[in-house]
Amino acid sequence: MIKTIISEGLPVDEQLLIRKKVIQNGTGPKRICIVTGTHGDELEGQFVCYELTRRLNENLRFLDGTVEVYPALNPLGVDSVTRGIPTFDLDMNRIFPGDKYGHLIEHTAYEIIQDLRGADMVIDIHASNIFLREMPQARINVQMSKKLIPYANLLNIDFIWIHDAATVLESTLAHSLNIIKTPTIVVEMGIGMRITRDYGNRLVDGILNMMRKMKMWSGPISKEISKPMLSTTGDVCFINADVSGIIIPSVSHSVDVKKGDLLCQIVDPFEGVILQNILSPVDGVVFTLRTYPVVYEGSLIARIFSKSACIEDL
Amino acid sequence: MKQEILFQMKSPYRDDFKIQGFRFGEGEKSVAIVGAMRGDEIQQQFTCSQVVKNLIELENEGKILPGHEILVIPSANHFSMNINKRFWAMDNTDINRMFPGYDKGETTQRIAAALFDEVRGFKYGIQLASFYMPGEFIPHVRMMDTGFQNVKLAKKFGLPYVLIRKPKPYDTAVLNYNWQVFDTQAFSIYSGDTDTINKESAKIAWFSILRFLNSMKIIDNKIHDGFNSCVLSDNELETIKSDQAGILYNLRGAKDEVKQGDLLAKILDPFTGAVRSEIYSPVDGTIFFAHDKPLIHQNTLMYKIVKF
In the predicted model, what is the mean pLDDT of residues B107-122?
Answer: 98
Q: Is the pLDDT of residue A170 over 90?
A: no
**Residue of A9, A168, A300 with shortest CB distance to B298:** A9
List CB contacts of A45: < 8 A, sequence separation 6 or more.
A34, A35, A36, A37, A71, A125, A126, A127
**Chain B residues whose beta carbon lies within 8 Å of the beta carbon of residue A89:** 86-87, 132
Select the residue from B7, B174, B299 to test the A interface by mutation, using most A Cβ atoms within 10 A. Answer: B299
Q: Say how far apart CA B231 and CA B235 lie, in whole Å.
A: 12
Q: How confident is the model at residue B113 (pLDDT cuts 50, 70, 90)?
A: very high
Share of chain B above pLDDT 70, in %: 100
Domains A2-230 and A234-306 share a fold: no
Same domain, B283 and B134: no
Same domain, B32 and B89: yes
Confidence (pLDDT) at A314:
44
- Contact A264/A210 with Cβ under 8 angstroms? no
- The full length of chain A comes to 314
Pinpoint the alpha helices (H) of chain B. Answer: 42-60, 78-81, 107-119, 151-155, 175-181, 199-215
pLDDT tens for each residue of A219-262: 999 999 999 999 999 999 999 999 999 999 999 999 999 999 99
Q: How confident is the model at residue B146 (pLDDT cuts 50, 70, 90)?
A: confident
Domain stops at, among B195, B211, B228 = B228
C-alpha torsion sign, points B199, B203, B204, B209: positive
pLDDT tens for each residue of B234-263: 889 999 999 999 999 999 999 999 999 999
- Which CATH number goes with the domain that contains B256? 2.40.50.100
Same domain, B131 and B29: yes
Same domain, B190 and B270: no
Q: How many domains does chain B have?
A: 2
Same domain, B144 and B241: no
Q: How confident is the model at residue A311 (pLDDT cuts 50, 70, 90)?
A: low
ipTM field: 0.84
Same domain, B250 and B219: no
Select the residue from A178, A193, A296, A303 to test the B interface by mutation, using most B Cβ atoms within 10 A. Answer: A296
pLDDT tens for each residue of A254-304: 999 999 999 999 999 999 999 999 999 999 999 999 999 999 999 999 999
Same domain, B31 and B59: yes
- The boundaries of the domain holding residue B169 are 2-228
Confidence (pLDDT) at A189:
98
Confidence (pLDDT) at A269:
97
Q: Say how far apart CA A257 and CA A259 lie, in whole Å.
A: 7
Q: How confident is the model at residue A313 (pLDDT cuts 50, 70, 90)?
A: very low
Same domain, B265 and B213: no
- Partners of B219 in beta bridges: B64
Same domain, B54 and B32: yes
In the predicted model, what is the mean pLDDT of residues A6-11?
Answer: 94
- Which CATH number goes with the domain that contains B162? 3.40.630.10
Same domain, B103 and B151: yes
pLDDT tens for each residue of A90-117: 899 999 999 998 889 999 999 999 999 9
pLDDT tens for each residue of B8-32: 999 999 999 999 999 999 999 999 9
Q: Say how far apart CA A231 and CA A233 lie, in whole Å.
A: 5
Same domain, B63 and B131: yes
Q: Is the pLDDT of residue B131 over 50?
A: yes
Cis peptide bond prior to B169, omega within 30° of 0: no
Confidence (pLDDT) at A169:
81
Same domain, B256 and B158: no
Cβ contact (<8 Å) for A246 and B12?
yes
- Contact A254/A135 with Cβ under 8 angstroms? yes
Q: Is the pLDDT of residue A43 over 50?
A: yes
Cis peptide bond prior to A97, omega within 30° of 0: yes
Q: Say how far apart CA B297 and CA A268 lie, in whole Å.
A: 47
Confidence (pLDDT) at A312:
54
**Residue of B86, B173, B296 with shortest CB distance to A11:** B296
pLDDT tens for each residue of B278-292: 999 999 999 999 998
Domain stops at, among B228, B251, B283 = B228
In the predicted model, what is the mean pLDDT of residues B77-103?
Answer: 94
Domain stops at, among B184, B206, B228 = B228
What number of C-beta contacts closer than 8 Å exist between A and B? 98
Cα–Cα distances (Å) from B42 to B3, B5, B112, in that order, read 21, 21, 19
**Residue of B104, B241, B245 with shortest CB distance to A103:** B241
CATH class label, A234-306 = mainly beta
Phi, psi of A228 (to 5 degrees): -75, 150
Q: Where are the domains of chain A?
A: 2-230, 234-306
- The domain over range A2-230 is classified in CATH as 3.40.50.720: no
